[in-house]
Amino acid sequence: MTQAATATRPTPARRRPVDAPFASIEDAHEYVTLLTEVATHTRQSIQDALAAVDPAETGRRVDLLRLIDYKIWQLQSHLTTTLRLLNDLRTLRRLLLNERADANT
């Protein structure tokens, strides 16, 4: 791709409307926090369903509940990692903005 084609191609920031739901790191953090809460609640419901299953019962339903529990656990793990990354980005942005403010004074 030529340099001229690269310069005229819109970047993702240019395509995104100003009032986008993830216009800031804080907005993304809030959304991921809500997802984490829903995943936690859903996993608790699945674990309650597993606890209510007769121990002698085996079969597809029990296997599916265990698989769902595992997949939600994976999702919770990824969401926790995402929250940590967003926190890191917020911290780095604050450090960067403070450095810029210090340089301008």
pLDDT score for 44: 98
Instruction: State the pLDDT at residue 14.
Output: 47
Query: Per residue in 56-76, pLDDT tens?
Result: 777 888 999 999 999 999 999
For the cut 70, the answer to whether the pLDDT of residue 7 exceeds it is no
Hey, what long-range contacts does 34-38 have (CB within 8 A, 24 or more apart)? 35/79, 36/76, 36/79, 36/80, 36/83
CA–CA distance, 63 with 58 (Å, rounded to integer): 8
Cα-based distances in Å from 12 to 30, 35, 76: 22, 24, 28
The more confidently predicted of residues 22 and 68 is 68
Which residues are CB-contacts of 43 (< 8 A; sequence separation ≥ 6)? 69, 72, 73, 76
Return the higher-pLDDT residue of 26 and 55: 26
Residue 23 DSSP code: S
